[in-house]
Structure 1
Amino acid sequence: MTTDEAVIEGDWEYRRLQLPPGVSRISAAIQLSIQAEFSGWELSNVRLYSDGTRRVWLRRRRTLASVGLPGPIV
């Protein structure tokens, strides 16, 4: 799983993840649910490409409490 730096837009913080073709749908769902549970991220957008790569956009609302939370686990 690769990740880019966060993009801040208004009250939201976005982060893009790229999952390689070999990651199963169930494994991807588990990885994303862990991010949601422990880092406050929610799913914004998923794109599945013909080679099997998935690009996922996560988002979370920017608050004083979320400033100290970690980003996605790579």
Structure 2
Amino acid sequence: MLEYEYRELRLPRGTSRGSARQALTEHAEYGRWELARVRLYPDGSRLITLRRKIIRQLRIM
């Protein structure tokens, strides 16, 4: 069964699309995060949830 860890990013209202895209691209490339959810609030801010797989090693005795 796959397990994931999650991270939330909050982008303020004035954040441009280009800078938001760049931030998400950096997280994806260097941290191996993938986009899980984007919530857009009435004030214009965004809450972005990223996830990545947790890889566990099995102990063999």
TM-score range, shorter chain: 0.7 to 0.9
Aligned length: 55
Query: What's the TM-score, normalizing by structure 2?
Result: 0.81
Unmatched tracts of structure 2, length 5 or more: 57-61
SS state at 1:23 partner: coil
Task: Give the 4+ runs in structure 1 shifted more than 2 A.
Answer: none
CA RMSD of the aligned region, Å? 1.3
Q: 1 CA distance for matches of 2:16 and 2:38? A: 14
Q: 1 CA distance for matches of 2:55 and 2:32? A: 11
**Structure 1 residue 36: deviation in Å?**
0.2
**Structure 1 residue 47: deviation in Å?**
0.9
Unmatched tracts of structure 1, length 5 or more: 1-9, 65-74
| Greater relative contact order structure (CA < 8 Å, 6+ sep) | 2
User: Sequence identity, in percent?
Assistant: 49
Higher Cα radius of gyration: 2
SS state at 1:60 partner: strand
Query: What's the TM-score, normalizing by structure 1?
Result: 0.68
